[in-house]
Chains A and B, each alone.
Chain A
């Protein structure tokens, strides 16, 4: 399927418009859930880390350090992308599935448009660009959520939190998180596009394909997550 995607567009302007539209759909469509999840991820991690670190030998700022690294490495890229697999993936699969079943894809094909290029490429490119942006925002929010939970409940002070954030800061962790999010964005969009584009049958199959695409995306994300960690860390 990916091979058939790279042909010269019939009209670059229409493709560009479609790309912008997809960026908007994917970005705005999932921003709300990303904000909520990220804040809670950070907050819960703070409280639970504090609960586990009862030894008086470990200083409080370590909590912030743990939040920072687990956010960069795992919480933001992986957990949020798994949620996005549900939000974006099911949307792409059901949109394409509906277009297939109601012959809209055939109608495009008849006009002489390469439907793989027109329908799938903008979605994948938009995901690869927008999802890492969402993940970056999510990283900030998660840490901020951790900060709020930590300081408001008196687990650690503002200075301790900032100190923890800056201690042993490894830039590669951040980069690694972003590499993950690129990879996961590609997995989510291409898997869901594949299942949606190839739906056969009726409305029932659209639902089924969107479920399958979410399940398959999640499994592939976890496999890739392990693969990347083993390879790059």
Chain B
């Protein structure tokens, strides 16, 4: 569980995150949604400590993250896996060695065991036969999947994904969503995902925080979203006529039931 209390972040004179509070639950897929530029990435970076918020409190379980000793913070971070929006793969390492890196650093497994684990996670993100390739030789979507594999290779307690399925085809995107849901439930992970993929929202949004211009505009689950009266949320989620129709149909079904 991660508790976020009244965090605020400004860059110069521009306020990017304004007084956001929420609780990210364990064993659930927590989504942060919002338009491009609404502050999702900055919010995620605040939570993991890459950006220091100006105000507010962040608690991992009961530990105050922002005032933690460096040593404790390092300890906690070995339990965090993160997928960056730009993948952030190590250019100088092959796909296999990228995914193996956390294993090399933090485990005493043999090479054979590490290889096996690497192949296992690469298999789960639907990526085979790319072990010996370098990041420069991969497509954007492949990089994303390698980065996800690297983030989950140690079975982290906290998983952060910044737009895991941007740049993926719908089918692979579903595979990734399902994988994230599965491991979240299986290992009781606290999973936080930034997304503006509507499929993800409607499939896996156990807990959704909607950011609008840096403020928390709405909070709820995928089941609440259909009935929300919030205009900003409605305009954001059901942007197209197609999606509006789908929403109306669902609402009618719900009424008849």
A residues sitting closer than 8 Å to B (CB atoms) are: 10-11, 13-14, 98-99, 102-104, 106-107, 109-114
Which 3 A-B pairs have CB atoms at the shortest separation, nearest pair first? A112-B77, A103-B88, A107-B88
Residues of A within 8 A of B82 (CB): 107, 110
B48 touches A110 (CB 8 A): yes
Given B50, B73, B75, B90, which contacts A106 in the complex, CB threshold below 8 Å? B50
Q: Does B203 contact A (CB under 8 A)?
A: no
> Given the known A-B contacts A10-B105, A98-B91, are A112 and B86 also in contact in the complex, defined by CB atoms under 8 Å?
no
Given A11-B105, A111-B105, A113-B105: A104 and B78 interface contact (C-beta under 8 Å)? no
> Contact between B105 and A106 (Cβ–Cβ < 8 Å)?
no
Considering only CB atoms and an 8 Å cut-off, how many residues of chain B contact the other chain? 21
Q: List the A side residues contacting B106 at CB < 8 Å.
A: 10-11, 111-112
B105 and A110 within 8 A (CB): no
B88 touches A112 (CB 8 A): no
Residues of A within 8 A of B88 (CB): 102-104, 106-107
Segment 57-107 of B: residues with Cβ below 8 Å from A: 73-78, 80, 82, 84, 86, 88-91, 101-102, 104-106
Chain B contacts for A111, CB-based, 8 A:
77-78, 80, 101-102, 105-106
* B50 touching A110, Cβ below 8 Å: yes
A11: chain B residues at CB < 8 Å are 104-106
The closest CB in chain A to the CB of B83 belongs to A107
Q: How far is the CA of A104 from the CA of B73 in the complex (A)?
A: 19
In the complex, the answer to whether A110 meets B86 with C-beta atoms within 8 Å is no
Closest to A107 in B: B88
* Complex: A99 Cα to B75 Cα, angstroms: 23
List the B side residues contacting A104 at CB < 8 Å.
88-91
A102 touches B86 (CB 8 A): yes
Give, as a whole number of angstroms, the nearest-CB distance from B117 to chain A. Answer: 16
User: CA A109 – CA B91 in complex, angstroms?
Assistant: 16
Residue of B nearest to A13 (CB): B104
Q: B74's contact among A13, A98, A103, A114, by CB below 8 Å, is which?
A: A114
Q: What would be 16 A-B contacts, judged by CB atoms less than 8 Å apart?
A: A10-B106, A11-B106, A99-B91, A102-B91, A104-B90, A106-B88, A110-B48, A110-B80, A110-B82, A111-B80, A111-B102, A111-B106, A112-B75, A112-B76, A112-B106, A114-B74
